[in-house]
Amino acid sequence: MKVINFVFNPLKEFTNDNIHQAKRCHKLDHKDFTKVVFRTTIGLVVMGFIGFIVKLIFMPFNNIIVGSAWVND
C-alpha cells in the first residue's frame, strides 16, 4: 500500500495542479493579444539588429584572418 501511495500521490497532485491551472487560464482579448504581438515584434527586431551589428563588426576581422591564411599559402 505504501508503494502505491508513493507512486500515485505525486501523479494525483500533478493532475490537480494542472486542472487548477487550466481553470485559471483564459483566452486573450484583442488588447492583450496586440500587446503580446507588439512586444514579440520589438524583441525580434532588437535581436535582429544586434545580430546584424555583430555580423557587420566581425565580418572584417574574419576576412583579415581568413585572407591572411590564403596569402601565406
Q: Using CA atoms, how far apart are residues 59 and 67, in angstroms rounded to an integer?
A: 12
Give Cβ neighbours of residue 36 (< 8 Å, ≥ 6 apart).
28
**Tens of pLDDT along 39-61?**
999 999 999 999 999 999 888 88
What pTM, to 2 d.p., does this model score? 0.54
pLDDT of res. 46: 98
Q: What is the dihedral of CA 54, 57, 62, 68, to 10 degrees?
A: -170
Q: Report domain extents, the chain.
A: 2-61
